[in-house]
Amino acid sequence: MSVAAFVMSAGMLGSSVMLYSRLPGMITRYAEGITGDVAGKVTEMIPEQIEQVMPELPTETGLPIKFP
């Protein structure tokens, strides 16, 4: 029974050390994936939104406005 407890404790310790050492890399990969997806969606959406909001430019101009 003590051998089983030792094996379980050693396994938990080993998995904890492995998780702790790999966690920063896992977080970085996850963040890069999310950032890439969001950047792609925003890049697709922004030109459409800008075109909807921007008024049409005038084709001709008039005389300047005089100051009082």
| Segment 2-59, tens digit of pLDDT | 999 999 999 999 999 998 898 888 888 888 888 888 877 877 777 777 777 777 877 7
Amino acid at 68: P
d(CA 53, CA 45): 13
41, two tokens? 């969606």
What does DSSP assign to residue 54?
S
pLDDT of residue 14: 93
pLDDT of residue 8: 95
d(CA 48, CA 54): 10
What does DSSP assign to residue 1?
-
pLDDT of residue 40: 79
pLDDT of residue 46: 79
d(CA 39, CA 68): 50
Does the reported pTM lie above 0.85? no
